Structure 1
């Protein structure tokens, strides 16, 4: 795994105003002004897609605190409202939107509205879905694969591109793209999912190199099995499965350091990495031995 030193975001207009504020001669007002400036300096905007998923919800709660505005989107209104309620109790301001990321026009309109209120300091592209070849190994339905690619690839890359432009213009920000350890080598059980996450990985790596000189960080997250309904529905063994709260803590910590890649858990990541560097025939034979081919 590689790591890059953290990039310090440039102050926004509100932070500059706070930093240049001059207190007057009255101590009480001076103290109040200093406190207000300190409060403004802690303000940040965090956008999370797929907030109704297990990782997305855990991330929202992990980032929730006083001085943070969470911009959450998902497909399930009731669950989104419940997560928003939890985050408000932790002190965060919350904006919620039920959104279909497959609708590009709606997605870009929403992102423009979000940026008009303030470009996010951190944006996490977490929304995703999975499909598989079925219990009898009959193969994926193309309708399912197409919907998966629209969500995992077009929705994720479209959002990242839109926000990358806004962050580049401002000169600061952090993009976090959720890939998967399945991106190291395609799995026969989930070929469309593996392909979509490989696309996110490659795009994020390229985006990072392009945006680095402009003060914008990009982190690619490659988790293994995280407890969730989607994970439960996936076929095949699920070694080293971890709870979403633990995964969220790792993502938050790595993103704060502007890590180029956050991949976990280590044993599974190490094994999957070897699948990517060994000759493909050997890797596929190994996957067969571990029951990842049927």
Structure 2
């Protein structure tokens, strides 16, 4: 699919969380569209390998930054990128689940640092540059869990609710200044992060989508929709969550998720 982002935003995109899942697929499809890439993730070997593979396959320039976005030095390393970034894709994320009081507090702090603080800081840094140019785009990656109460995913859902509200607010601010903002809010996706949750997803009424399909839908709608929810069933869930009384909705979700999680996490 031809997105023509090179003409719309400029020749370089920066993608965090670029070595797996949705972030990896977004990077792949941007390269296929002719965008040069700066890839950001924690694991250097995977980054180096992915960077070289994408460059060879799509004949684009690639660079990579090894950065732990739960740390301020990791975020600052990304801010020092030399390339003129026209499209920022904030796909990096952490997920914790289980009874909130049982989860290690440091793990929850790291989740907030990655999902909230690094997202805000990088959006702030690159939006400044984009506004000065009068063009650019920011694609946030949130979650369907952020659009509703999600017992046993409380901190994760709260962090993604921040991303959704933050992104929608920035859309209103930045659109008149020439900068597109969209928020991808996927449901269950076949990613390494979803596989590691410990949840028996067969007990949950969500249909898992392939990450390449989610990435394609995100890029197809980038700058055209504010919140992008891939899949009709997910769209219905998001719409229904706004209409269902919150007490009832959270009771229903708690019953579903408690049946899908191991007893040790409840």
Report the TM-score, using the length of structure 1 for normalisation: 0.79
Q: How does 1:105-116 map to 2 (within 5 A)?
A: 105-111=73-79, 113-114=80-81, 116=82
Q: Distance in 2 between matches of 1:109 and 1:248?
A: 26
Q: Which runs of 4+ in 1 moved over 6 A?
A: 8-12
Q: Which residue of 2 aligns with 1:283?
A: 249
Q: How many residues align?
A: 252
CA deviation after TM superposition for structure 1 residue 278, in Å: 1.9
Bigger Rg over Cα: 1
Secondary structure at 1:220's aligned position in 2? strand
CA deviation after TM superposition for structure 1 residue 72, in Å: 0.5
CA RMSD of aligned residues (A): 2.4
Determine if the alignment matches structure 1 residue 125 to structure 2 residue 90: yes
Secondary structure at 1:122's aligned position in 2? strand
CA deviation after TM superposition for structure 1 residue 122, in Å: 0.8
8 Å CA contact 1:49–1:73 kept in 2: the answer is yes
Determine if the alignment matches structure 1 residue 240 to structure 2 residue 207: yes
Determine if the alignment matches structure 1 residue 155 to structure 2 residue 123: no
Query: Which residue of the other structure, out of 64, 74, 77, is the alignment partner of 1:96?
Result: 64
Q: Which residue of 1 aligns with 2:104?
A: 141
Q: Which residue of 1 aligns with 2:224?
A: 258
CA deviation after TM superposition for structure 1 residue 67, in Å: 4.5
Moved more, 78-87 or 162-171: 78-87
8 Å CA contact 1:66–1:92 kept in 2: the answer is no
Query: Which residue of the other structure, out of 152, 155, 167, is the alignment partner of 1:189?
Result: 152
Structure 2: state its 5+ residue gaps. 260-265
Q: Distance in 1 between matches of 2:165 and 2:41?
A: 25
CA deviation after TM superposition for structure 1 residue 65, in Å: 3.7
Q: How does 1:28-107 map to 2 (within 5 A)?
A: 44-65=11-32, 67-88=34-55, 89-107=57-75
8 Å CA contact 2:150–2:254 kept in 1: the answer is no
Query: Which residue of the other structure, out of 198, 205, 213, is the alignment partner of 2:176?
Result: 213
Q: Distance in 2 between matches of 1:193 and 1:186?
A: 11
